[in-house]
Structure 1
Amino acid sequence: MPTPRDRQARIATFVVYAVQGLSFATLLVQVANLQNRHGLSEGELTLLLLIVPVLAGVGSVLAGSLAGRLGSRRVLRLAQPLVAVAVAGAGFAPNVPLLLPALVLFGLGVGAVDAGMNMQGVAVERRYARPVLNGFHCLWSLASVLGALWVSATAESLPMGVIMAAPMVLAVAGSLYAGPRLCPPEEETVPAAAGPRTFPWRAIVPLCLAMAFLYVGDAVISNFNSVYMEDVLLASPAVVPLAYAAYQATTLLVRLGGDLAVRRYGPAAIVRVGGAVATLGFAGIVLAQNQPLGIVAFGLTGIGLAVVAPQSFSAAGRLDPTGSGVAIAVVNLFNYVGFILGAMLGLVAELTSLRVAFAVPLVLAAGIILLARGFEPAARPASPQPYPQP
């Protein structure tokens, strides 16, 4: 039975996920405007965007190391306000030399927050002894939708810097509220099991691959949805953000009932269906001939991909024999592997077209269907290897 302290930690974790979703969306729906402001080609934009996932991977590794000694709460209290500062800085940057440090700070901060918030989410789920992780990701999606709608509503009436900085005031306030109420180190870990500590390498591989495949698709959508809507479907500035809003809105709707669905049908079945729907959505993006169909297709991808990340982290938490967060950190790294590969598809777009670039995650989404079996709760490594020491 959850205690009042457990419920307090859960509310604080909700806030952390919401702040991260708001910050992420506020920057990413402005990619096309940033490209236009700084006169970047598709290839130059791709190289600039690669900074974010590469440094996010560095930030995630650093966060994992610090969290092992200090707890993820301290990591989040430092990193999350810095993400908000970076988003505002990117909005006001008048040139690429000033945009670059903002993206560097954003990448490092986002990686640290991603790792830390999922450690907190799994810690809360463990204390509740039932699936709750979809709910946290649901708040991430809701905040992302609100961020995209804010940009859509103000795109033609406010300067970009103001549009991007205003939501970050809420982001800083939210992170300051949540920080002291998150799980401290003693609430994150569990007593070590008897016997040798082992790391479930074989069982974790499907989770890592599914996470990478998911984020190839998510990266293409996040980085190029606005460019696709503007250049391929000729959408106006007010319509451009609606594709990302549709993606996050359907993600939100699925995650609202995600925990109940997992309890009823099991994680493997949910991930399998999700892979099939995401495949259909990417096919729709590749083939869309008008703006409404394009927006609907982006929405379908959100339905399909919504369940993969929460179930990957949840399964990693079940496979971790000590609750140390190492398995979660390993799975989280493949978030950035996928995001880097997805960002590099901008080079494919420059050589061919954005439609061809979106065909790549179509194939990988189908691959998630084949990996779904690895999400069964009973999955265990056949030949465990020594547990990596921090």
Structure 2
Amino acid sequence: MEHSLSSRQIQQWRMAIYIIFALPGFAMATWVSRTPAIRDTLGATIAEMGWIIFGLAVGSIIGLLSASHLIASRGGRFVMMTGLAVSSAGLGIVAMSGVWLTDGITVFLGLAVFGFGNGICDVAMNVEGTAVERAAQKSLLTGFHAAYSLGTLVGAVAGSAAIQAGLSVVVHLSFAAVVVVLCAVYVYRFVPAGTGQERAADSGEPPMTARERMAVWKEPRTILIGIVVLGMSFAEGSANDWLPLAIVDGYQVSPAMGSFAFGLFVAAMTIGRAAGGRLLDRFGRVIVLRASALSAIAGLLIVISGQSFTAAAIGVVLWGLGSAFGFPVGLSAAGDDPRGVAARVGAVSTAGYAASLVGPPILGVVGDSIGLLRALIIVLIGVVVAGLLSHATRPIGARAKDTNFKA
């Protein structure tokens, strides 16, 4: 399908996917920015908020597991737009907590709806991203994920401004939900229909059955790519959840300095992803992944050593640069074969998000016993394993023959 598009149509498609990647990041940062106000409205303890937020994880996992079947039957565009609409509805439900909720049950359900929409949209937009790569004959997924990071940054800044302006939770979250829906409606026309949809005409083979889609979880290459993504996503997720606190407790600095360190991490990761396409086209997936793993390993070792805050800041930058490539490169590799692309991208996405959702709480339990800096050794081990298995991302099929997708 993508081969029949003009260069202008491909460019419009590409820009639309950049916007679609940014929208979930914007929505997620909007929710995170108002968690303190929602907690105060509910009168919830930290433990109770933990269970309420668990609704987000539940919805996300259900969405990730459902996405490949939805994409195979309805196509990526339909699932992306549905996901953005559903996540906006979930954000709207959560917004109501600022008006009339007296307990966390509806917030839990709203977050589950929000997470489900994000989950199916995430897989669909990555499937769409691999299709744009094939059409444009360029490595683009790292850039798309940079757009997600940029959307997160915009959402965080907008959240801070909304709080400073005294906007209520209901107004802020409702406005954000409307923005997401309007942007989705605008870019809809630039996205071709049917990407990822299983049809016999796409490959000359019959479309995958539901059993075959589930069987991709047993494929050796998919399993290895999933482990690579799991290890590198754990490195990213652990920083998102624990880096500020690890810096504050480990180096005895102020919370502001901890936030500054986290800002360095996000900036380094965003810059790495923005430059990732050119690096991948020049050096190939395996070399870039091995270099990024070495960067993350060096950064983690510096941070764990606890020598000084200045040294730790350098380590955080290396850690952020190293964490930039694993997830998008793994998803790109999972999408090499057009037949079953939704199932494989869904499986790898699930591995990555499982690491991001489940790994950090485990790190917190271990860190409670031995300290967060020492607990980061678990993250270090995951990155080492990911680096050792990076050869699994070598292109296969048509991409292996294409000089624009080096091994």
TM-score interval, smaller chain: 0.7 to 0.9
**Corresponding residue for residue 386 of structure 2:** 368
Cα distance between partner residues in 2 of 1:372 and 1:270: 9
**Change in 2 beyond 3 A, CA 1:34/1:269:** farther
Amino acid at match of 1:17: F
Residues 1:165 and 1:261: Cα distance change in structure 2 (over 3 Å): same
Q: Matched residues in 2 for 1:30 and 1:362: separation?
A: 32
Give how far 1:96 is off.
2.8
- The corresponding residue for 2:319 is 301
- Show the counterpart of 1:119: 127
2: CA distance, partners of 1:262 / 1:251: 15
Name the amino acid aligned to 2:366.
V
2:282 counterpart of 1:278 = no
Q: Deviations over 1:13-70 (max 9, x none)?
A: 11100112212233345667766775534x6555544443333121122222111111
Instruction: For 1:225 and 1:166, locate their aligned partners in 2 and report how far apart those are by CA, in whole Å.
Output: 30
In structure 1, what is the equivalent of residue 203 of structure 2? 192
Specify the code of the residue in structure 1 equivalent to 2:347. Answer: V
Tell me the residue number matched to 1:384.
Answer: none
Write out per-residue CA displacement over residues 271-305 of structure 1, whole angstroms, 9 at most, x where no aligned residue: 11111222233344445588776665544332111
Asked if 1:40 is matched to 2:37, the reply is no
Q: Distance in 2 between matches of 1:321 and 1:187?
A: 7
- 127-136 or 156-165, which moves further after superposition? 156-165
Distance 1:8 1:158 in 2: 38
Give the one of 335, 356, 371 matched to 1:317: 335
Matched, 1:134 2:142: yes
Give the CA deviation at 1:148: 2.8
Structure 1 residue ranges without an equivalent (≥5): 381-390
What is the distance in 2 between the residues matched to 1:302 and 1:101? 33
Equivalents in 2 of 1:50, 1:231: separation in Å? Answer: 26
Separation in structure 2 between the aligned mates of residue 296 and residue 265 of structure 1, nearest angstrom = 25
Give the deviation of 1:364 after TM superposition.
1.1
Q: Which residue of 1 aligns with 2:15?
A: 11
Query: Which one has more relative contact order, counting CA pairs under 8 Å at least 6 apart?
Result: 1
After TM superposition, the structure 1 stretch with the greater mean CA deviation from structure 2, 351-360 or 254-263, is 351-360
State the match for 2:71 in structure 1.
Answer: 67
CA distance in 2, matches of 1:295, 1:32: 27
Q: In the alignment, is the contact (CA less than 8 A) between 1:28 and 1:223 conserved in 2?
A: no
Identity among equivalent positions (%) equals 21
Moved more, 218-227 or 291-300: 291-300
Return the match for 2:59 from 52, 55, 60.
55
Corresponding position of 1:332: 349
Is 1:86 aligned to residue 90 of structure 2?
Answer: yes
Compared CA separation, residues 71 and 85, structure 1 to 2 (3 A): same
2:25 to 21, 26, 37: 21
Shift of 1:196: 11
TM-score in terms of structure 1 length? 0.82
Provide the C-alpha distance between the structure 2 equivalents of 1:84 and 1:290, rounded to a whole number of angstroms: 43
Task: Return the letter of the residue paired with 1:342.
Answer: G
Shift of 1:342: 1.6
Would you say the 8 A contact 2:59–2:111 is kept in 1? no
Of structures 1 and 2, the larger Rg is shown by 2
Relative to structure 1, the CA distance from residue 292 to residue 89 in structure 2 (aligned partners, 3 Å threshold; closer, same or farther) is: farther
Q: How far is 1:179 from its partner?
A: 2.5
After superposition, the C-alpha distances for 1:307-340 in whole angstroms (9 at most, x for unaligned) are: 111111111111x252542211121121232123
- Residues 340/329 of structure 1: CA separation in 2 closer, same or farther (3 Å cut): same
Could you say what secondary structure the match of 2:389 adopts?
A: helix
